[in-house]
């Protein structure tokens, strides 16, 4: 099913600003759906007739649609009222009886307007009521009707007001407060009254302002958001948090206007005390984990530095070479922990690690020249070019460490044994499809011939690939000369 953006892009009559206006409406219309306890369907013009491009179900009542109506096109004989509104007719504001999927329902049609132009038609459809609605339901429906009138006048969604973030955002079911133009509370839903009681505000708040009651319980030493007074009075379409006595309320104001004049506001309220407590715990844990990675990285770098100092005191080339290789492996593990410091999750952007692994491997080129006893090459230095093709993406920290060691070992082997005498190009090709990852480390040297790779680095790479990554490691000749080592593994998915 095409997205709303695709539908709006196909409508050549809508300008970019008008399409953004409809996107803004759909991003915030759950408020209207919950107040009216009704499904919302947005219709726009199309070459084949009015087309449904977005649908919202209420969180406070039953839906009339089990099948999503998005994509439906009205034929010539159905819902002539929608066509009439597009043609310039005025809405009736009287709900009419309709049938949806074999069930009785009631519907109301309103034009979605901006700068005097009809951009679409909004249908509100709710199940037929079995009895009289409660006082709370009637009040919420009245508030919903006022927002529909703002929609018809082009005043909703409120221009310049950001769409509230989903996490912790108050909804109609959490609590609703109605205030007049002076900020005096006219009505509160039972859930809103309970939220304020838990916050420490006693008694009824109807007939007074929220600012008066909130001042008495706010913590004097806690910082207060400068937007909070405007939200409590309903003067700005913002969202703010209010803390006191260990509790936290999330408040969102939606000003109500008529003929461009503010006549009151809806204030949504939600008790987010537990949510904020968990967020603080996560922040603390995240900071602790970062500190652990930081200390591990520093300790590993210290170990590498000690190994480097010790290698300089070795009298034999064999001992010096062993300590140098150990230093390189410790440095590779430190790279992974340094990468974990950069992100907010226990995952590593492995392409950055590959770049640093390549630098470690190239640094081994000059060392390999000295170990080979070729001072004439040492003077000119071996030129090793590096090339990276493809992307690996993000992988879990548990897999990043062994994979980084494997890439470093294979790249170092390619530099030392494939390119150390003549120089050349070291290439790493990465191809990832979902969880399947293939990394090829290639050099354009003389090739390995029929000999099977041996040595400590080769054994380490093979053991890590097979034992910890559960994959395969194969060697072969590269097209055009040289050697190719291919790592083929399946990665575990990252938990979001």
Position 372 scores a pLDDT of 47
Does residue 165 belong to any structural domain of this protein?
A: no
d(CA 6, CA 491): 34
Domain boundary among 271, 299, 324: 271
Residue 232: count other Cβ atoms within 10 Å of its Cβ.
Answer: 24
> Could you give phi then psi for residue 150, rounded to 5 degrees?
-65, -40
Q: Does residue 163 lie within any of the structural domains?
A: no
Give yes or no: residues 47 and 33 share one domain. yes
Evaluate whether 428 touches 389 at the Cβ level (below 8 Å): yes
Q: Give the whole-angstrom CA distance, residue 126 versus residue 95.
A: 10
Tell me the per-residue pLDDT of 156-167, one tens digit each, with 9 for 90 and over. 988 777 665 555
Shared-domain flag, residues 186 and 296:
no
DSSP 61: S
Based on the fold, state whether residues 341 and 449 are members of the same structural domain: yes
CATH code of the domain in which 112 resides: 3.30.450.280
Q: Within 10 A of 408 (CB to CB), how many other CB atoms are there?
A: 28
Q: Both tokens of residue 166?
A: 């989903």
For residues 374 and 64, the model is more confident at: 64
Query: Average pLDDT in the 52-77 region?
Result: 87
Are 433 and 307 part of one and the same domain? yes
Mean pLDDT of 296-303: 75
Give the pLDDT of residue 379.
40
Q: What is the percentage of the chain residues whose pLDDT exceeds 70?
A: 83
Task: Say if residue 25 is in the same domain as residue 44.
Answer: yes
What total number of domains does the chain contain? 3
Cα separation of 440 and 420, whole Å?
Answer: 19
**496 part of a folded domain:** no
Residue pair 445/414 in contact by the 8 Å Cβ criterion: yes
**Per-residue confidence at 381, pLDDT binned at 50, 70, 90?**
low
What is the mean predicted confidence (pLDDT) over 246-272?
91
Q: Is the pTM of this model over 0.85?
A: no
In this predicted model, which residue has the larger pLDDT, 3 or 210? Answer: 210
Q: E-strand spans in 304-435?
A: 347-349, 384-389, 394-396, 424-433
The residue segments making up the domain with residue 12 are 4-153
| Higher-confidence position of 488 and 460 | 488
Q: Are residues 252 and 291 in the same domain?
A: no
Q: How does the average pLDDT of the chain come out, rounded?
A: 81
Listed residue (216, 203, 206, 191) closest to 269, CA to CA? 191
The model's confidence at residue 373, banded by pLDDT at 50, 70 and 90, is very low
- Return all residues near 420 (Cβ < 8 A) that are at least 6 apart: 365, 368, 369, 372, 382
Give me the CATH number covering residue 280: 3.30.565.10
Phi, psi of 199 (to 5 degrees): -75, -20
Reference 363, options 322, 319, 325; nearest CA is 325
3-state secondary structure of 55: strand
Query: Which CATH number do you get for residue 238?
Result: 3.30.450.20
- Domain-embedded: residue 60: yes
Q: What is the Cα–Cα distance from 37 to 157, expressed in whole angstroms?
A: 18
Is pLDDT above 80 for 229? yes
Low-confidence winner among 279-288, 399-408, 462-471 (lowest mean pLDDT): 279-288
Is 160 part of a structural domain of the chain? no
In a domain, 171, yes or no: no
- pLDDT at residue 8, as a whole number: 76
Q: What is the DSSP string of 142-183?
A: HHHHHHHHHHHHT--SPTTPPPPPSTT---TTT-EEEEETT-
Residue pLDDT, tens place only, 22-41: 999 998 899 999 999 999 99
18 lies in some domain: yes
Average pLDDT over residues 359-372: 59
When pLDDT is cut at 50, 70 and 90, the band that residue 178 belongs to is: very high
Q: Is residue 398 part of a domain?
A: yes
Spatial contact of 439 and 357, defined as CB atoms under 8 Å apart? no
Q: For residue 306, is pLDDT > 70?
A: yes
Sheet of 117-127: strands edge to edge?
51-56, 39-44, 117-127, 103-114, 96-100
* Pair (111, 49) in one structural domain: yes
Q: How confident is the model at residue 424 (pLDDT cuts 50, 70, 90)?
A: confident
Confidence of residue 357 (pLDDT cuts 50, 70, 90): confident
List Cα–Cα distances, 336 to 34, 65, 341, 463, in angstroms: 48, 50, 9, 19
* Same domain for 456 and 335: yes
Residue 468 burial (CB count, 10 A): 16
Residues 359 and 485 in one domain: yes
- The residue out of 225, 240, 271 marking a domain boundary is 271
Q: Check whether residue 196 and residue 310 sit in a common domain.
A: no
More confident call, 340 vs 325: 325
**58 and 205, same domain (yes or no):** no
Q: Which of 238, 271, 304 is the last residue of a domain?
A: 271
With a cut of 80, say whether residue 377 has pLDDT above it.
no
Q: Find the mean pLDDT for residues 63-73.
A: 89
Per-residue confidence (pLDDT) for residue 103, from 0 to 100: 81
Interval 105-154: pLDDT, tens: 888 999 999 988 999 999 999 988 777 888 899 999 999 999 999 999 99
Whether 180 and 195 share a structural domain? yes
């Amino acid at each position: 099913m095409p997205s709303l953006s695709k539908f709006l892009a196909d409508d050549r009559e809508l300008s970019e600003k008008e399409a953004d206006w409809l996107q803004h409406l759909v991003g915030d219309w759950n408020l209207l759906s919950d107040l009216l306890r009704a499904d919302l369907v947005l219709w726009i013009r199309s070459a084949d007739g009015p087309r449904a491009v977005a649908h919202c179900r209420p969180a406070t009542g039953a839906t009339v649609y089990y099948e999503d109506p998005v994509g439906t096109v009205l034929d010539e004989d159905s819902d002539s009222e929608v066509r009439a509104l597009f043609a310039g007719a005025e809405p009736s504001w009287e709900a009419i009886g309709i049938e949806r999927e074999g069930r009785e329902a009631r519907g109301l049609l309103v034009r979605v307007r901006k700068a005097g132009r009809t951009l679409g038609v909004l249908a509100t459809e709710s199940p037929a009521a079995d009895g009289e609605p409660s006082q709370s339901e009637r009040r919420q429906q009245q508030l919903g009707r006022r927002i529909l009138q703002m929609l018809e006048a082009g005043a909703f969604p409120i221009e310049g007001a950001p769409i509230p973030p989903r996490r912790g955002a108050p909804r109609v079911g959490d609590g609703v407060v109605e205030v007049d133009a002076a900020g005096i509370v006219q009505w509160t839903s039972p859930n809103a009254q309970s939220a304020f009681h838990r916050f420490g505000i006693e008694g009824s708040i109807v007939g007074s302002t929220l600012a008066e009651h909130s001042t008495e319980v706010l913590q004097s030493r806690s910082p207060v958001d400068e937007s909070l007074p405007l939200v409590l009075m309903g003067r700005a379409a913002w969202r703010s948090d209010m803390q006191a006595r260990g509790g936290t309320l999330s408040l969102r104001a939606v000003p109500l206007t008529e003929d461009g004049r503010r006549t009151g506001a809806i204030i949504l309220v939600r008790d987010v005390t537990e949510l904020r407590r968990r967020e603080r715990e996560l922040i603390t844990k995240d900071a602790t984990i970062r500190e652990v990675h930081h200390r591990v990285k520093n300790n590993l770098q210290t170990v590498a530095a000690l190994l480097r100092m010790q290698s300089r005191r070795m009298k034999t080339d064999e001992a010096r070479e062993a300590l140098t290789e150990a230093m390189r492996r410790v440095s590779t593990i430190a790279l992974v922990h340094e990468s974990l410091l950069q992100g907010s999750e226990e995952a590593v952007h492995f392409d950055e690690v590959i770049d640093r692994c390549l630098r470690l491997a190239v640094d081994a080129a000059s060392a390999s020249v000295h170990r080979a006893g070729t001072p004439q090459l040492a003077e000119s230095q071996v030129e090793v070019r590096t090339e990276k093709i493809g992307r690996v993406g993000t992988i879990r920290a548990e897999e990043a460490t062994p994979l980084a060691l494997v890439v470093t070992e294979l790249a170092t082997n390619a530099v030392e044994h494939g390119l150390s005498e003549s120089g050349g190009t070291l290439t790493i090709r990465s191809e990832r499809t979902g969880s399947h990852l293939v990394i090829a480390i290639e050099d354009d040297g003389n090739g390995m011939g029929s000999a099977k790779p041996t040595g400590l680095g080769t054994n380490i790479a093979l053991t890590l690939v097979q034992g910890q990554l559960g994959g395969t490691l194969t060697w072969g000749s590269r097209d055009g000369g040289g050697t190719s080592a291919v790592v083929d593994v399946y990665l575990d998915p990252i938990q979001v």
